[in-house]
Amino acid sequence: MIDFVLGAVAMACLVAAMFFWRYWRDTRDPLFLFFSCSFVLESINRTLVSVLGSWTEGQPKLYLIRLCAYLIILAGVAHKNRPRPPADR
């Protein structure tokens, strides 16, 4: 049953990644690309948890994947909020 739930969560992460990818393709806003990459990493993380059978969450390597996903989101937010020079008119 745990594998089924992990598979469903991995699939949901991939669906979210596809939505953000489509929004990025339409708007070219980099924040959507950062979110899409983060959700792909989350999907990979859930799949590895299921395949490796480490449901106890005791694998530090799996936490590093999740940490990278969250750092990508933070980088996207920082990129979105960085100051931009005023446009010349």
DSSP sequence for 61-82: HHHHHHHHHHHHHHHHHHHHHS
Q: Residue 2: which pLDDT band, with cuts at 50, 70 and 90?
A: confident
CA–CA distance, 21 with 24 (Å, rounded to integer): 5
Give residue-wise pLDDT tens across range 56-74. 666 788 889 999 999 999 9
pLDDT at residue number 85: 86
Task: Give the mean pLDDT of 31-49.
Answer: 96
CA–CA distance, 49 with 4 (Å, rounded to integer): 12
| 13 and 42 Cβ atoms separated by less than 8 Å | yes
CA–CA distance, 75 with 89 (Å, rounded to integer): 30
This prediction has a pTM of 0.87
